[in-house]
Structure 1
Amino acid sequence: MVSIKDIAKKAGVSISTVSYALNGSQKVTQETSAKILAIAKELNYIPNAAARTLKKRETKIAGVFLTNYSGAFYGELQQGMLDQLSCHGYELIVCSGKESHRFLPEGMIDGAIILDANFSSEELISYADRGHKLVVLDRELEHDNITQVLLDNKTGAKLAVDYALDLGHKKLIIVTGPKDSFDSNQRLKQAVVTAQKNGLDYTVINGDFNKPSGEKAAREIAESFSGPVAVFCLNDEMAIGMYNYLSKTEYRIGEHIHIIGFDNIEVAHYTHPRLATIDYSKREWGSAAAEQLIKLIRKESAAAKKVGVTLVEGESVGRL
């Protein structure tokens, strides 16, 4: 492999002069720089990324850590991050699993966006203590090197339960996500508070933010059905699972079982009847996270942000 020593030898200059030229330094004349760059091209010189990183202490790469890649909203979320990062000359790598956590301490990325339940808060704090820049989307942490960009889960849950109340519903079933999910726990807590405040008879079914857990919840509801009931699925994936199961039964959505979701994923637009759900911009969420990460890397002020939500009404919830 060609090194800067080879370029220096052919150009008849010092190694430091070659280094300055390759890095665009004004310490060498334009004529010398042009000569060195031409030789580098002729020799097919490829910069050593690891060495460059050690010298500059930057990689121009950001990471996003995800619990997994399943689900329908990750694409838009990542696109928002990618668009924002590319505006600042950064690239994005997507990581999952505990082995990828070493990218931070090994300096393979300049900072990270975290939406990964496999990271403990203690682990993230330890990285921040060592100077690593982090934006969290799935928890609240206080540290100078960490900021958060969170969904307004509480407002979304209140909108969903209030919608069922406004349509005359007196019974509510809440289908949760994983027990360690920040978003699920926030939505569940607010849904319960709103139900209790308004005298709603509510029960909770444990789900897992995926279609099979939605199908399982639908089966449980159908087997114990005793009259019209509103169901708040804490994400749309589970709501779609309920549609799948109930389509094979005598129970009709919007008449017997009234479903509200959360996320407004693309497939929700094509459900029949149209799924009522909580909407927010996944792309805006990703873009805001990337913007705050760039600010942290540049040692600028990066205050916590909240992504707003709205209710999308749908015929999946009928009036009683």
Structure 2
Amino acid sequence: MVSIKDIAKHAGVSISTVSYALNGSPKVTPETTSRILAIAKELNYIPNAAARQLKKQESRIIGAFLTDFTGAFYGDLLQGMKEVLNRKGYDLIVCSGLQSHRLLPERMIDGAIILDLTFSDEELLDFADRGHKLVVLDRELNHPAVNEVLLDNKAGANLAMDYLIQSGHRKLYVVTGPKETFDSRQRMIAVRQTLDRHPEVTAVVLDGDFNKGSGEAAARVIIDEYDGPVGVFCLNDEMAIGLHNYATAQGFRIGEHISVVGFDDIDLTRYLQPRLSTIHYSKHRWGAMASEQLLRLIHGESVEHERIYVSLVEGESVSRVNE
């Protein structure tokens, strides 16, 4: 591999002169810089990124840490992150798994966006104490080096529950996500608050796992207990799709026998018949906002925590019930 020492030998100058020229320093005349760059190109010189990173104390790379890559959720989120970072001269790498955590202490990245359950709060606060800049999408952390860009989960769950209740449903099922996830916990807090306001409504909570399989499992329970129209709030769209497909295959009509509301407004819901009612928010904006906030932290600018707002998409999967 060609080094700056080889370029210096060919150019008949010192190693420091080559280094200055390659980094665009005014300490070298334009003529000498042009000659050195031409020799570097001729020799197919490739800069040593690791050495440059040590010198400048930056990599111009941001890490997005995800628990896993399953489901149809992440594409727009990551694209939003990437577009902002690329405009500002940064690149994005997407990481998952415990071994990837070392990218922060080894300073292989300049900062991190966290949507990853394998990080504990204590681990992230330790990183922040050591000066690492972080944006979290899946928890609340109080630290000056950490910014929160959180989805308004409670508002979304309230919208979904109110929609079913205002449609006349007095018997509801709620299909949860994993208990350890921030989104599921926040949505269930709002579910219980809504039920407290409506003592006339009975609700059965079914454990789910944010995947189609747990939606199918919930559908089996609902069908076994079925004695008339019911409303179902699935805490994400993947489960709502699983429930929708299973119930339809068993001869139940969504929007008539079973009314369903999901959460996330993923692209697949647009192809369901009837169209799924769901909670919408911009995943692209969420990712973009996370990147913007992280870059502000890295550049020492003041930031406030941000909230991504939600809205209800009404579909034919919910019908009105005569009270």
Band the TM-score falls in, shorter-chain normalisation? over 0.9
CA distance in 2, matches of 1:70, 1:37: 46
Show the counterpart of 1:2.
Answer: 2
Indicate whether 1:190 and 2:195 are aligned. Answer: no
Q: Distance in 1 between matches of 2:218 and 2:72?
A: 20
Shift of 1:226: 2.1
Report the equivalent of 1:235.
Answer: 236
Residue 304 of structure 1 deviates from its aligned partner by 0.9
Q: Distance in 2 between matches of 1:140 and 1:214?
A: 28
User: Residue 224 of structure 1: CA displacement?
Assistant: 1.4
2:74 maps to 74
Find the aligned partners of 2:161 and 2:236 in 1 and give their Cα distance: 14
CA distance in structure 2 between the partners assigned to 1:56 and 1:255 by the alignment: 63
Q: Unaligned 5+ residue runs, structure 2? A: none
Deviation at 1:251? Answer: 1.9
SS in 2 for 1:173: strand
**What amino acid maps onto 1:52 in structure 2?**
R
Match of 2:14 in 1: 14
Shift of 1:302: 2.1
Q: Deviations over 1:148-176 (max 9, x none)?
A: 11111111011111101111111121111
TM-score with structure 2 setting the length: 0.97
Specify the alignment match of 2:135 in structure 1.
135
Q: Which amino acid aligns with 1:205?
A: L
For 1:92-241, list aligned pairs within 5 A: 92-199=92-199, 200-241=201-242
In structure 1, what is the Cα distance between the partners aligned to 2:117 and 2:275?
31
Aligned to 1:251: 252
Corresponding letter in the other structure for 2:265:
N
User: Alpha-carbon deviations, 1:117-145, whole Å to 9, x = none?
Assistant: 11111111111111111100000101111
Which residues in structure 2 correspond to 1:254-273 (within 5 Å)? 254-273=255-274
Counterpart in 2 of 1:30? 30
Q: Which amino acid aligns with 1:242?
A: L
Deviations 1:248-287 (A, max 9, x none): 2132111111100000001111111111000000100000
TM-score by length of 1: 0.98
For the residues of structure 1 that align with 2:249 and 2:161, how far apart are their CA atoms? 27
In 2, Cα distance between the equivalents of 1:265 and 1:203? 25
Q: Does residue 1:282 correspond to 2:283, yes or no?
A: yes
How far did residue 216 of structure 1 move?
Answer: 0.6
**Counterparts of 1:137 and 1:169, CA distance in 2:** 33
SS in structure 1 opposite 2:249?
A: coil
Post-superposition shift, 1:61? Answer: 0.7
Work out the CA distance in 2 between the residues paired with 1:298 and 1:42.
37
Q: Which runs of 5+ in 1 are unaligned?
A: none
Secondary structure, aligned partner of 1:274:
coil
Helix, strand or coil at the partner of 1:143: coil
SS at match of 1:247: helix
SS in 2 for 1:147: strand
Taking the aligned partners of 1:24 and 1:179, their CA distance within structure 2 comes to 54
CA distance in 2, matches of 1:129, 1:271: 47
Deviation of 1:74 (Å): 0.4
In the alignment, the residues of structure 2 paired with residue 276 and residue 282 of structure 1 have an alpha-carbon distance, to the nearest angstrom, of 17
Shift of 1:67: 0.5
Cα separation, 2, equivalents of 1:101 and 1:85: 21
Partners of 1:22 and 1:47 lie apart in 2 by 9
Corresponding residue for 2:299? 298
Distance in 1 (CA, whole Å) between partners of 2:18 and 2:237 is: 56
Question: What CA RMSD, in Å, does the superposition of the two structures yield over aligned residues?
Answer: 0.9
- The whole-number CA distance in structure 2 between the counterparts of 1:49 and 1:110 is 14
Deviation of 1:46 after TM superposition, in Å, equals: 0.7
Using the alignment, how far apart are the partners of 1:278 and 1:211 within structure 2?
17
